[in-house]
């Protein structure tokens, strides 16, 4: 069974992965892809300074970081890549005196640090290569290394290409990626039914947020409702762990 600590790391990866994947695709589609953080017209803003290509590279790298985190399989690489990006965004928001945004980016940076702390058993060999033989996979590493993650990465990569041409195909391939990433976790035998339901609802929220711009306020209400359900299920799961049901004694 995947323990609470490990499962929370999975949820953090899914959360940050979608935040940055959606932010990057939003920029690449000039605001037509489901947006959580902006600015959506990033390329147009920098184009007047001759930095359109730079804006496109930043947006693409955001998507790449998001893909790696969502994959679980290569999430450590994604967490490392996300550090300079998070710090750069944090510095820019402070420099421009954006109200509230530095706190949001500060929260993302904190989550990023938590991911790196969790993966310290992998990163320590960069400091001391002699410790390489002592590195063992965590329960997440052992159980989420499957073909569905690769399929999700392929669909997401195609979504990057499609973002320059057609928003419908971009949405379609991105949603296919979300389904693959979610199923890669749900189909693991070590995942409990409660955890599988939570992951399924999280992926459903990703899909609805992606399509919210096309279907209006009702979708936003459903996302809010599902988010509350997810938080409730996580709370119930945590309470159940603290207060396990006593099993009858075997006579």
- Which sign does the torsion angle of CA 81, 155, 51, 16 carry? negative
User: What pLDDT shows up at residue 66?
Assistant: 94
The residues spanned by each domain of the chain are 4-124+137-241
The residue that leads in pLDDT, 40 or 174, is 174
Confidence tier at 16 by pLDDT (50, 70, 90): very high
Report pLDDT for 130: 66
Bigger pLDDT: 170 or 52? Answer: 170
Q: What is the pLDDT of residue 241?
A: 59
- Spatial neighbors of 138 by CB under 8 A, at least 6 apart, are 6, 118, 121
- pLDDT given for residue 246 in this prediction: 46
- Per-residue model confidence (pLDDT) at position 238: 64
Tens digits of residue pLDDT in 51-89: 888 888 888 999 999 999 999 889 999 999 999 988 888
Contact yes or no for 188/163 (Cβ under 8 A):
no
Average pLDDT, the chain: 82
Q: Are residues 199 and 191 in contact, defined by beta-carbon separation less than 8 angstroms?
A: yes
Alpha helices in the chain (DSSP H): 4-28, 42-47, 52-71, 75-95, 101-118, 120-127, 139-143, 147-162, 167-186, 193-215, 217-242
Q: Among 204, 198, 195, which residue's Cα sits nearest to residue 229?
A: 198
């Amino acid at each position: 069974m995947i323990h609470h600590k490990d499962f929370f790391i999975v949820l953090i990866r899914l959360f940050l992965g979608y935040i940055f994947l959606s932010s990057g695709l939003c920029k690449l589609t000039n605001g037509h892809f489901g947006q959580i953080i902006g600015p959506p017209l990033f390329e147009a803003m920098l184009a007047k300074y001759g930095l359109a290509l730079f804006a496109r590279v930043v947006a693409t790298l955001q998507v790449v970081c998001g893909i790696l985190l969502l994959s679980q399989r290569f999430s450590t690489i994604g967490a490392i890549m996300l550090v300079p990006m998070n710090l750069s965004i944090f510095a820019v928001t402070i420099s421009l005196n954006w109200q509230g945004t530095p706190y949001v980016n500060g929260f993302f940076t904190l989550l990023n640090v938590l991911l790196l702390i969790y993966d310290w058993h992998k990163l320590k060999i960069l400091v001391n290569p002699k410790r390489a033989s002592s590195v063992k996979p965590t329960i997440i590493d052992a159980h989420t290394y499957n073909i569905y993650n690769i399929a999700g990465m392929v669909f997401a990569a195609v979504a990057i290409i499609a973002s320059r041409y057609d928003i419908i195909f971009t949405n379609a391939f991105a949603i296919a990626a979300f389904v693959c990433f979610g199923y890669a976790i749900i189909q693991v035998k070590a995942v409990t039914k409660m955890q599988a339901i939570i992951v399924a609802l999280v992926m459903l929220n990703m899909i609805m947020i992606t399509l919210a711009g096309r279907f209006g306020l009702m979708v936003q209400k459903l996302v809010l409702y599902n988010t509350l359900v997810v938080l409730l299920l996580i709370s119930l799961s945590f309470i159940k762990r603290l207060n396990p049901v006593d099993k009858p004694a075997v006579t």
